[in-house]
Amino acid sequence: MMLRIAKPKVSIRILTHSIFGAPTLTRRSYSSGVKVKQMMVREALNSALDEEMAADPRVFLMGEEVGEYQGAYKVSKGLLHKYGPDRVVDTPITEAGFTGLATGAAYYGLRPVLEFMTFNFAMQAIDHLINSAAKTHYMSGGNISVPIVFRGPNGAALGVGAQHSQCYAPWYGSVPGLKVVAPYSSEDARGLLKAAIRDPDPVVFLENELLYGESFRVSEEVLDPNFTLPIGKAKIEKEGTDVTITAFSRMVGYALKAAETLAKEDINAEVINIRSIRPLDRSSINASVRKTNRLVTVEEGFPQHGVGAEICASVVEEIFEYLDAPVERITGADVPMPYAANLERMALPQVEDIVRAAKRVCYKSISMAAAV
């Protein structure tokens, strides 16, 4: 499914083209003379793929519509023309087949980047993901590495129904042998994808369809071809002292908006962009909770056995004595995703849900239990 997303409005826009052929929006600051660069998430992914393919001939891209159509979400724009059909491979609609093929190529020493049009379709290939890619290094006694990246949109989009709206972060995050990341910003997308492609182990790279057209500021450091982000390290998006809010992927933006609202009520929230689901950066989360003494976790997946549940368990097991309030989890509803727009909104976390939870742990509102 293709989404038409409006471009962000800025006072002065200069549309240029990067060396990758993808449009880059640049805003000039005339007071300082320094350019503040903006990059869409799809552009960040495209540039990361391009640079890694140029640097390492073992890297190739495979998936449905990645070549002639330039990607269902235009992430692979221009790559077929630059690298040819041997390295940008269009596949039939047969996830089990091309996932097995790519995993075998990784056994041989190549570095496949496998695109699923959505991770919901990866269920057709989950045997290769789990039993072949994730376990082979261990079962071979360390003799066979599986350097492969499985990437594509994860979680809910808009109006695509229950079968196309699932969050697979806790599914894959529970599997030993896999590394699982979920980028939020353009910096995340670019740095984590480059790191994933270079990694010797299989990496599940969970993007979000609604973030592809979002623009974020990127520094010159992020645009450096050698830039990577470490897998397994979270980022503090906003420092705070009163409550820790953890989130990943699209929910990071919701958490930041909630923090703005909370600030108006004298609650200084710290927002942690988890980035890496497995390995999970428990030390950064624990350090934040030691400072704030309160925790709210946010994710759009199901509540039972979720990423937030794992974070809560970790905090309770390791630093329970630092908590001044019960932990709050904000998740999607425990139902298959409704198709109707009004019900879909009710089934997903909203900014106001995060605000209410943060106020409860800060004892700035009546708790649900007390209200009942």
Residues assigned a catalytic role? 95, 164
- Give the number of other Cβ atoms within 10 Å of residue 229's Cβ: 22
Are 36 and 8 a contacting pair, CB within 8 Å?
A: no
Q: Which two tokens stand for residue 323?
A: 């908590």
What is the 3-state composition of the chain as percent helix, strand, coil, each rounded to the nearest 5? Answer: 40, 20, 45
- Give the number of other Cβ atoms within 10 Å of residue 200's Cβ: 11
User: Hey, which residues does 246 pair with through a beta bridge?
Assistant: 272, 297
Are 327 and 297 a contacting pair, CB within 8 Å?
A: yes
How far is the C-alpha of 315 from the C-alpha of 262, rounded, in Å?
A: 23
CB-side neighbour CA atoms (13 Å) of 216: 23
Report angle CA 48, 51, 55 to the nearest 5 degrees. 135
Residue with tokens 């979000």: 208
Are 275 and 188 a contacting pair, CB within 8 Å?
A: yes
CB-side neighbour CA atoms (13 Å) of 256: 14
Please choose, from the candidates 360, 286, 358, 368, the residue with its C-alpha nearest in 3D space to the C-alpha of residue 321: 286
Maximum pairwise Cα distance, the chain:
64
**Phi and psi, residue 103, nearest 5°:** -65, -40
- Give the number of other Cβ atoms within 10 Å of residue 47's Cβ: 26
Please choose, from the candidates 38, 41, 10, 7, the residue with its C-alpha nearest in 3D space to the C-alpha of residue 25: 38
How is residue 337 annotated by DSSP?
Answer: P
Q: How far apart are the first and last CA of the chain?
A: 42
